[in-house]
């Protein structure tokens, strides 16, 4: 389905649709994104082997694609009113949901939120005139593009699995009482100062020159390697926590109770084989195209008793990057001999080689 968009099953790809918003009052401006902003995002992820594709509209592009100017709304609230869902439903095509992340550049907001159900795939970025100039000091067109990219990269981190309940530094603010009031003040300050990441609010809209997730090299305790904890499919399934509506919401993070569901791989007429999984674990690691991290692996064998030559297999992987929540994913299919001495993995390269051999034999 996504081949026309350069998708590769053995490559981590991130797809984004971005829409803007019309200006409101007389002295307002159109709330739009910029090519420089997009390039900042593309280049940052490319340095870590992740391709980013952005639809911000182009001549003869999809009618309901990126680059639309949405109707003006003064303030979009993430827990009351569900204003954003109007755009998610009407301006974000159904066939893109679960594949693209939807970014809307709006007047007054700034968060990632569930469009439908509890899947966090809708990012809203504030470009209000007042906040851009007064709060962020973005007086030049260049810096306006920079702070927009910073905001998107931060919210993207949440859609990739970086959550406050997984590390104290994520979403940390200079005001301790609004985040982790029971954390000793000196400990809180160490996270605030040593977590060098765009996920730390110290680096989103300040003049500090940082546009990156942390590599964990600043401190062994109060910093973390964000890149090792990213899980790209996070935005595709229900989050393990949800935001309560005002006025019940607690502005701190201390009452968050994540529910770590552990969905099993359930396949009719397939059986998990633990012995074979352990036997071929080293070979499985070579199939781990998507993540530069440790994974758990499971191999399932088709439960057919009358096969005389081989049996079909399916190989699943689950990145072991707790506390980031991950799931099992199908990474390869193939066959195994009856005596379990050889596994043959299906691949485009093998199909091509077999086809060329068949042609040459003729």
Tell me the per-residue pLDDT of 331-357, one tens digit each, with 9 for 90 and over: 888 888 887 788 888 776 677 777 888
- Is 112 domain-assigned? yes
Asked, for residue 18, whether it belongs to a domain, the answer is yes
- 321 lies in which domain range? 270-361
Other beta carbons less than 10 A from residue 75's beta carbon: 12
Token pair for 329: 């994913």
Q: Decide if 80 is inside a domain.
A: yes
Assess whether pLDDT exceeds 90 at residue 281: no
Q: Per-residue pLDDT tens for 56-81?
A: 988 887 888 999 999 998 887 766 66
pLDDT in tens, 296-330: 889 999 887 666 678 899 999 999 898 999 999 88
* Whether residues 147 and 20 fall in one domain: yes
Cβ-contact 157, 199 below 8 angstroms: yes
| Whole-number Å distance between alpha carbons of 24 and 13 | 35
Per-residue tokens: 107: 């007047």
What's the pLDDT tens digit per position in 31-56?
Answer: 999 999 999 999 999 999 899 999 99
Q: Is 22 left (phi over 0), alpha (psi -120 to 50) or beta?
A: beta
Looking at the structure, tell me whether residues 279 and 154 fall in a common domain.
no
Number of domains forming the structure of the chain: 2
**3 state SS of 356:** helix
Last residue of a domain, one of 218, 236, 254: 236
**Domain termination site, one of 236, 260, 288:** 236
The reply to whether 312 falls in a domain is yes
Q: Is residue 318 part of a domain?
A: yes
Q: Are residues 157 and 274 in the same domain?
A: no
10 and 152 part of one domain: yes
Beta strands in the chain (DSSP E): 13-21, 51-55, 69-70, 100-106, 111-114, 120-126, 270-272, 295-302, 310-319, 329-337, 343-345
User: Of 193, 210, 236, which residue sits at a domain end?
Assistant: 236
Contact 325, 231 (CB under 8 A): yes
On whether both 15 and 135 belong to a single domain, the answer is yes
| pTM exceeding the 0.75 threshold for the entire prediction | yes
Are residue 14 and residue 136 in the same domain, yes or no? yes
Assess whether pLDDT exceeds 80 at residue 243. Answer: no
Q: Starting at the edge strand that comes first in sequence, how are the strands of the sheet with 295-302 ordered?
A: 270-272, 295-302, 310-319, 329-337, 343-345
For 84-130, the pLDDT digits (tens) are: 788 999 999 999 999 999 999 999 888 888 877 788 899 999 999 88
Task: Tell me if 307 is assigned to some domain.
Answer: yes
Domain-embedded: residue 199: no
Question: Phi and psi (nearest 5°) for 138?
Answer: -90, 80
Tokens 């931060």 correspond to 154
Does residue 85 lie within any of the structural domains? yes
Query: How far lies 22's CA from each of 73, 74, 131, in Å?
Result: 9, 11, 17
109 exposed, middle or buried (CB, 10 Å; 0-12, 13-18, 19+)?
buried
Same domain, 142 and 275: no
């Amino acid at each position: 389905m996504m081949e026309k968009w350069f998708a590769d099953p053995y490559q981590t790809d991130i797809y984004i649709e971005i829409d803007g918003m019309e200006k409101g009052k007389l002295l307002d401006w159109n709330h739009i994104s910029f090519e420089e902003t997009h390039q900042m995002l593309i280049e940052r992820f490319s340095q870590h082997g992740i391709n980013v594709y952005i639809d911000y509209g182009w001549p003869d592009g999809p009618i309901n694609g990126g680059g639309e100017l949405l109707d003006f709304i003064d303030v979009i609230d993430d827990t009351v009113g569900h204003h954003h869902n109007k755009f998610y439903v009407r301006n974000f095509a159904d066939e893109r949901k679960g594949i693209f992340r939807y970014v809307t550049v709006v007047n007054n907001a700034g968060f990632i939120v569930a469009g439908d159900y509890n899947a966090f795939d809708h990012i809203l970025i504030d470009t209000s005139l007042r906040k851009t100039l007064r709060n962020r000091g973005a007086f030049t067109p260049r810096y306006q593009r920079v702070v927009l990219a910073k905001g998107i990269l931060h919210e993207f981190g949440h859609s990739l699995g970086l959550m406050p309940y997984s590390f104290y530094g994520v979403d940390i603010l200079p005001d301790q009482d609004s985040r982790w009031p029971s954390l000793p003040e000196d400990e809180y300050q160490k996270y605030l100062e040593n977590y060098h990441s765009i996920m730390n609010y110290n680096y989103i809209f300040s003049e500090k020159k940082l546009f990156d997730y942390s590599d964990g090299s600043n401190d062994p305790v109060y910093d973390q390697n964000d890149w090792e904890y990213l899980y790209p499919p996070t935005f595709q399934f229900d989050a393990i926590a949800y935001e309560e509506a005002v006025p019940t919401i607690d502005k701190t993070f201390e009452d968050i109770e994540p529910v770590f569901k552990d969905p099993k791989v359930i396949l009719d007429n397939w059986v998990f084989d633990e012995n074979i999984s352990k036997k071929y674990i080293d070979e499985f690691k070579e199939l781990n195209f998507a993540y530069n991290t440790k994974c758990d692996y499971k191999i399932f064998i088709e439960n057919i008793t009358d096969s005389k030559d081989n049996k079909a297999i399916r190989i699943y992987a689950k990145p072991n990057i707790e506390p980031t929540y991950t799931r099992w994913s199908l990474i390869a299919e193939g066959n195994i001999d009856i005596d379990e001495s050889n596994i043959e993995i299906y691949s485009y390269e093998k199909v091509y080689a077999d086809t060329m051999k068949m042609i040459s034999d003729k």
